[in-house]
Structure 1
Amino acid sequence: MLDQSTENALQDLVEEFMQSGVSFTSLDITNLAKDASYRVRNHEVANWLREKAISISYDGGYLYNQSLINVDSKAVGMTLAYCYHYYKDSSDDYLDRDQNPKSFMRRVVSPTSGLLPFSNFISPICFDTREESRNFARSHSDFKFKDCGNSSPAGQRWICISR
């Protein structure tokens, strides 16, 4: 069961996606919540979204639908997930279907060191085929693959970027 603080954070994340008109799944929300140091599991967020997402959409005037899509989970292989998307957009346009859950990591800043946490920037890794990109992302959980059309840095269509 989610506490009120976590539910408020989830609602804020969902509204950010909806205000931007971006499609999302429960794993997108879960990974962002974990990045913000909330201790949540994807199945909890998925249940919460099934109960709340459409009412958040209607209350905010965002006009989102939910559709079942196939996703490729590192843990269980191909499975179904709800994609929340603007009603005029097709759920087929949601491209981040090769997803992996992040592990929870509490953000801690040492008050004595004066150092702030930061993320390392890693250049995208380019591939000629979708399959090569997917295989790399599957074996390196900190990466996800992306279709760039022909606009990737090296002119290759498929890249892996850090999460």
Structure 2
Amino acid sequence: MQIRDVFGLMGVVAVVLTGCQLSGDYVPFELGPPPKKSRAAEESRREYRRMGPIPKPDPRAEALWGADLREALARAQINGKRVLLDFTRSDSGYVNVRWDYFYTQSKFLDLAEQKLELVKVDSGRDSNPSSESKKLAELFGVISRPRYFILNAEGGIVW
């Protein structure tokens, strides 16, 4: 494949004028073969298969997980609890596995009812993140997801 076939005449002109040294068989990444799957990705797929089908979520999950940190901190002060602040992405496979197999299950929710107020800050494409969630992510220095914090009732980071 020649450069002119990939980039067209304007691409060749740009390459010549900028002095780039490209071989005639250069293929941009987007047009090349797909990247090989990583070893970690393969191990994750095996582990997901081993875990079996996704268990049904506990009906309490929707009620216990809130989106308002201020409300959760107020409830934590009244009830003597800590706050689990979870920055997540609902469009991420790994995050969804964690959510489906752990955060919505009865064993976790039993503990959470006794000790935690739960706050989920979702920045996935499907969730249409609010300006409040963007401000929270900036305040806590969150760049990538998932990230989670345990806060005391005053909002200080414990873990």
Common fold by TM > 0.5: no
Query: Which structure features the higher share of strand residues?
Result: 1
Bigger proportion of residues as helix = 2
Alignment TM-score, normalising by the size of structure 1: 0.25
Give the TM-score normalised by the residue count of structure 2.
0.25
Larger relative contact order, structure 1 or 2 (CA cutoff 8 Å, min sep 6): 2
